[in-house]
Structure 1
Amino acid sequence: MASLFAVELERLLTQRAMSWRQLAKKINYSPGWLSKVKNGKPPSEELARLCDEVLEAQGTLAALAGVDSGLRPAQLPFATARFVGRDRELHVMQAVLGSEPQPGAPRIVALDGPPGVGKTALALRAAHDMTRQFPDGQLYVDLYGYSACDGPATPDSVLEEFLAALGIAATTIPPGVEQRAKLYRSALAGKRVLVVLDNAACSGQIEPLIPGAAGCGVIVTSRRRLSGLALHMDARQLTLRPMTEDEAATLLLPALGPSRAGAEPAAVAALAQRCGYLPLALRIAANQLASHPHLSVEDLVNELGEEARRLDRLAAGDSVPVRTAFSWSYRDLSGDAARTFRLLGLHRGPQISVDATAALVGTDISSLRRCLEQLGDVHLLERLGRDRYRFHDLLRVYAAERAAAEDTAEERAAAVRQLVGWYLHTAARANRLLAPFRINPLQLPPAGPGVCPLTFDDDVAALRWCDAERDNFVPVMQLALQYQLYDIAWRFAIALFDYLLLRKPGRVWIATHDLARDAALALADPYAEGWVLTNLAEGYRWQSDFARSAALFDRAIALHRQVGNPHIEAWSLAGAASSSIERGQIEQARDQAQRALDLFTDLGNREGQVWALATLGDVERESGHVENALAALQEALDTSEEMDEPYGRAWTLPKIAEAHLALGNPERALAFLHRAQEICRQTGDRLGGGNVLLRHGAVLYDLGRVEEARASWAVALQLYEEIEDPQAAEVRLRLRKAT
């Protein structure tokens, strides 16, 4: 078998187009002697030195002459005990590293992901599983790309360690990265060695450490996406995410034991969630539970529920705490990226847009994108498409900690004011486009310097923004109250009304307006409180909580009269009338609806007149005066059509259908319900559409058209489920009965 010296000598001769016989002549050795060296005989020190000089190998041949070709490095650290999950990633790694090698191209897998996600554990698990496929050994190094040491390991120092592990005498290892890399590649030529490069800082750090031998494999881990490695060396990139809920529970199980885990399944699931499904945090939590058998899982969950102490609790005396793992990535950020990271920790929504972040940070979009890309590259922030990002829960807690430690209270307050001001003004612009016909007397405070709210080309773009931001509305309100921005908070809820009335997301509607009421009470502002209560009462009415709705409307009406706000008083009266009808208080509803109509007429508010007339139509129908009901409803419909106002039409048409049903004309009723459904579909009103389809199906069912009824109810169920409306249960029951 040829030695490493002979293999490298053959390569150099081929490179220089020189034969073994020509070499023998130049170094004054016999061809027969060189033939023995070619076939495995160890060269003498003099022969190696002469070959080095003639072929200008710069010490490579001399170093290889002393290598013990039988040396097999086995440097892998132990793998994590009880490794769980990551089946897909392990399968991919095994497929890549076990694939047919291509000449001159080692097989490379690059793992990246956030701190604490288990990259090293996965790399070592895969490496240990594949030792038989790399019989010539395994090399391992921690490159300290992100750690508390003095800095990342340098390629020349790593190469020196690897060369020594491969049997090359320290005295023959050449200086400089380039010469050591050449010698390293020569030493691995023709071998099947697995190289694990853990915790890399960048592609440049590891490129000299990549073998040139096709039989070798390489596993790289890094918190940064190593795009250069993928581009130049065709590395297979794998990004690790937090574990699934099932994987997290499986990781916790050995520490808890089956009986303990079975006794608190909900607490185990909550613990995994508190740990953000990060293996590092999960293992620390598991260790604490194992060390304290009398501590219940729920007790630990409750302790981790306090965000201010969560990272303190996720620390272990003899291992890396979660906070420390995060700090290693944070300390390498540029100043602007670090500030962006900190301020993002103040925003508690599930995701944030680039535009909102620009308002929070107070910078231009182009500069901000560079910071966000840096945060995304090191997995301190997760990119969701082009313009949206999100935090891992524990990273957000850490970011908020850093903001509290490094930014002054004034700086944090200014950033929050910019953010919630941006949301207020952007929401107001969007909602005006959703209902341009609606009279809205809301007065906004100035946007403030550096706040550039979005503009929208049309109502479709405005609705798309509201849908994308819906889950952020409550967290933004909570943030506004936390920083005592009460004047912005209550107005933000009011600015959202047109969207809430259109989409009717009950949870968001109620939560935003509960917070807005707190803001109004903190300001001791009856004008704000009355307006908020009107919207809150309307939200409860759409959720069919008519008793609570009526009580809130009564309180709102009193406040409107106190401050002299006839516009919102009229809407409160109209809403109260609808709640009264649902509660069977018909004469009270008649009085409320008529007073609302009178106020709307005096104010010249034609949209309000539509809603008041439609409500009066309901009153007349409930009173048995169906012809009077149709007259009022037709006037409401005509007015809304003159205004080209779709919501009033969608509100009135089902009421006309009910009047025709009362007259015994179900076919006409179906026609009006169909028109209402078309409007709801066009405007995206899912709750209104569900209500119309529910009634449409009931009419069809009464007519014996069961299959058509089921089709209507099936679509209604889908719409109710999309908005988590409780009427979904009623529709499921109807569908079962109709089967």
Structure 2
Amino acid sequence: MIAFHNRLDELDQVRAWLTGSRRWVALTGPAGIGKSVLQAELAYRLGEDFDRVLFGSFEGDVPPADVYAELLRQLGVAEDDIPVGDPARIALIRRECAGSRVLVVLDDVRVAGQFTGLLPALKGCAVLLSCRQKLEALAFHGFAELRLAEFSEDAAVEMVSSMIERAGEPAEVRELVEVCGRLPLALRAAAAYLHAWSEVPLREYIARIRRDGAGGLEVDGEKPVEAILRVTFTELSPAAADACRLLAFLPGTRFGLFTVTELLGLEEAARDAVLRELERAFVLQREQTRFSWHRLTAQYAESVARAYLVELPAEIVRIQTGIVEGHARRTIALAKALYSQRELEGPLAVEIPAAEVTAEVARRELDADAVTLREMQALAQRLGRGELIWQVSHALCRWYYDTNRYEELVDTRRFALSVTEDPLARMVLLNELGHGYEGLGRPAEATAAFEDSLTPARELRHPRYLAACLEGLGLAAEQSTHYAKADALLAEAEETATGPTRPRSLALYAMHRGRIARKAGDPHTAAAKLDEAKSRFADADTGNLARIRLERARVHRALGERTEAETAYRDALDQLIAAKIPDKQEEAQTELDDLRRELDEQR
């Protein structure tokens, strides 16, 4: 029997079901996850709890009739007495099992028809089956389902370490676990090889798996992980297999629904059918509108795709170029739908119309696809498409800022700056980099980025970005508590701002100047500038209106108007909650609690 590792909690759970009220249990999960190993261990440990343990396997697409015949042989029925035809064999199984405590173990079930016909004969029996497909029939017939997952990192390290018996290489063992994706079969294959060939350096073996994926996991010339993946892919429909070959060219192992939609080019019903089939086979895992697949599955799919296109290397480049171009266009279209009033720079922003979706849908799609943005940029770099990188980064600037992704905002600007020398692109990206540093509370770096952006803004005679740089420098000066300098820079920005976005820019500058005046100890000027800002913002700009209400509460408090301040804080809290600005919510709640304590003491 294969050495058993780690699944002790799962073993206890299934044992409790099988010996308790839940007599039919299904172990489910992708190929290589350890269903058969756990199943065998359970059958061994439960032997004393049953009069008989029967085994049937559908591996290799064995017909149900053959499995029924094998069960009858294990029940002691002579070969000549095994009837012909499924109904007769099922009836005989029922009679032979009657009055006995029987555990029936069915391995490698793939379709409902393989086991549902047998169930009437097993009413009084315990049934333990393993299945590598998501089957509705399991719940329909009352099975308790235990879906197995990859090992935790610590459990995987413990398993590998116990098998290879090497000392002093903990970091390498953890790296090996990572490249195997914590898949039990892959870990067992890797550990078995390293146990037999102890002279092979771990670092060298890890590099082989990184390069070859499942193909690098050999045991005595066999490739067990690659073999089970081949079976899984062979059983897919042509449409699902084609989808896997295309998905293989996506960078990384996670992707959003709109990326999949653009890549597959299918109508919604056909797309959903393909995705459902891949989920059913545990090739893909879904989390709301995100998808992922195991790293070894992704590598295997890519190897299949490259073999499929072995004579067409140019076709691979064409597919990858189509992927990054399609992703860039869709991302910019969503950004324009989310921020319809924002002016974007670059030829794609001029060419691509806003996506025909609501702002809420656009935000949801961008949030879901955030996992693939960096991988897409890396792929675009490999393809020499730097112009796509900076335009996508620029389109998403405000989304990064509004969702407090300041680290990502800074990282993506720096990456985009490394692949473009275009003066317009550098002006835009340096300005946005400054705002990222400002969001992280790093005023010195923000100031440097804004000053670097000023030069191309002046050379290009771009007043809107000149004003934006002045705004950024003003905010950096505010963070450094240089309030007079900050106000002067924002006043200059007000005079410089032009274009269709000038009204909103003036509203922003007034809001900033009101906040700075309050910090500088001038609440009356602060109140006037905040009221000006409120009158300039559109009603739809709920986030900034909520921020203004919070600042107004602080002004009331600075003026000693505590009752008015309490009302303003309550209003600000409601508005901040509605606008989903958690950091400001926390600030408002803390300040309101402090104010209420002051009022209680006063009373």
Scaled to the shorter chain, the TM-score interval is 0.7 to 0.9
Tell me if structure 1 keeps the 8 A contact 2:257–2:369: no
SS where residue 389 of structure 1 aligns?
A: strand
Residue 492 of structure 2 corresponds to 595
User: Given the alignment of the two structures, is residue 516 of structure 1 paired with residue 416 of structure 2, yes or no?
Assistant: yes
Tell me if structure 2 keeps the 8 A contact 1:267–1:301: no
In structure 2, stretches of 5+ residues that fail to align are: none
Residue 449 of structure 2 corresponds to 552
Residues 433 and 695 (structure 1 numbering): CA distance in 2 closer, same or farther, change over 3 Å? farther
Corresponding residue to 1:682 among 578, 584, 589: 578
SS where residue 153 of structure 1 aligns?
A: coil
Residue 87 of structure 1 corresponds to 9
SS where residue 54 of structure 2 aligns?
A: strand
Residues 357 and 497 (structure 1 numbering): CA distance in 2 closer, same or farther, change over 3 Å? same
Shift of 1:650: 4.3
Deviations 1:663-712 (A, max 9, x none): 666776666555544433221123344455566677778x5989xxxxxx
Deviations 1:626-661 (A, max 9, x none): 655554444333323x66633443455555566667
Corresponding residue to 2:191 among 286, 296, 305: 286
Alignment TM-score, normalising by the size of structure 2: 0.84
Residues 512 and 673 (structure 1 numbering): CA distance in 2 closer, same or farther, change over 3 Å? farther
Corresponding residue to 1:487 among 382, 387, 390: 387
Residues 698 and 593 (structure 1 numbering): CA distance in 2 closer, same or farther, change over 3 Å? farther
Q: CA–CA distance in 2 between the matches of 1:620 and 1:377?
A: 60
Deviations 1:13-41 (A, max 9, x none): xxxxxxxxxxxxxxxxxxxxxxxxxxxxx
Residue 159 of structure 2 corresponds to 251
Tell me if structure 1 keeps the 8 A contact 2:434–2:446: yes
User: Given the alignment of the two structures, is residue 321 of structure 1 paired with residue 242 of structure 2, yes or no?
Assistant: no
Deviations 1:123-151 (A, max 9, x none): 1111111212332x433344224xxxxxx
Instruction: List aligned pairs for 1:720-739, cutoff 5 A.
Output: none
SS where residue 457 of structure 2 aligns?
A: helix
Residues 81 and 383 (structure 1 numbering): CA distance in 2 closer, same or farther, change over 3 Å? same
Shift of 1:471: 3.3
Residues 85 and 164 (structure 1 numbering): CA distance in 2 closer, same or farther, change over 3 Å? closer
Q: CA–CA distance in 1 between the matches of 2:323 and 2:259?
A: 6
Corresponding residue to 1:116 among 9, 32, 38: 32
Tell me if structure 1 keeps the 8 A contact 2:562–2:599: no
Shift of 1:532: 1.9
Residue 48 of structure 2 corresponds to 132
Residues 183 and 678 (structure 1 numbering): CA distance in 2 closer, same or farther, change over 3 Å? closer
SS where residue 456 of structure 1 aligns?
A: coil
Q: CA–CA distance in 2 between the matches of 1:133 and 1:383?
A: 38
Instruction: List aligned pairs for 1:415-494, cutoff 5 A.
Output: 415-416=319-320, 419-421=323-325, 423-428=327-332, 430-432=334-336, 434-440=338-344, 444=348, 455-457=356-358, 459-494=359-394
Residues 404 and 517 (structure 1 numbering): CA distance in 2 closer, same or farther, change over 3 Å? farther
Q: CA–CA distance in 1 between the matches of 2:70 and 2:540?
A: 79
User: Given the alignment of the two structures, is residue 221 of structure 1 paired with residue 142 of structure 2, yes or no?
Assistant: no
Q: CA–CA distance in 2 between the matches of 1:357 and 1:478?
A: 18
Q: CA–CA distance in 1 between the matches of 2:205 and 2:331?
A: 36
Tell me if structure 2 keeps the 8 A contact 1:307–1:397: no
Residue 681 of structure 1 aligns with an amino acid whose one-letter code is: I
Shift of 1:337: 0.4
SS where residue 30 of structure 2 aligns?
A: coil
Alignment TM-score, normalising by the size of structure 1: 0.70
Corresponding residue to 2:147 among 239, 245, 251: 239
Residue 285 of structure 1 aligns with an amino acid whose one-letter code is: A
Tell me if structure 1 keeps the 8 A contact 2:553–2:564: yes
SS where residue 25 of structure 2 aligns?
A: strand
Residue 303 of structure 1 corresponds to 207
Q: CA–CA distance in 2 between the matches of 1:453 and 1:326?
A: 41
Q: CA–CA distance in 1 between the matches of 2:206 and 2:434?
A: 34
Higher Rg: 1
Shift of 1:309: 3.6
Shift of 1:543: 0.5
Aligned length in residues: 599
Q: CA–CA distance in 1 between the matches of 2:351 and 2:149?
A: 38
Shift of 1:358: 2.0
Residues 403 and 666 (structure 1 numbering): CA distance in 2 closer, same or farther, change over 3 Å? farther
User: Given the alignment of the two structures, is residue 373 of structure 1 paired with residue 301 of structure 2, yes or no?
Assistant: no
Deviations 1:90-113 (A, max 9, x none): 344334433479xxxxx5433221
Residue 143 of structure 1 aligns with an amino acid whose one-letter code is: F
Q: Which range moved further: 156-165 or 541-550?
A: 156-165
Residue 58 of structure 2 aligns with an amino acid whose one-letter code is: L
Instruction: List aligned pairs for 1:262-277, cutoff 5 A.
Output: 268-277=173-182
Corresponding residue to 2:427 among 530, 533, 536: 530
SS where residue 564 of structure 1 aligns?
A: coil
Residue 38 of structure 1 corresponds to none
Q: CA RMSD in A?
A: 3.9
Q: CA–CA distance in 1 between the matches of 2:82 and 2:351?
A: 66
Percent identity of equivalent pairs: 25
User: Given the alignment of the two structures, is residue 499 of structure 1 paired with residue 395 of structure 2, yes or no?
Assistant: no
Tell me if structure 2 keeps the 8 A contact 1:362–1:415: no
In structure 1, stretches of 5+ residues that fail to align are: 1-77, 102-106, 146-151, 707-739
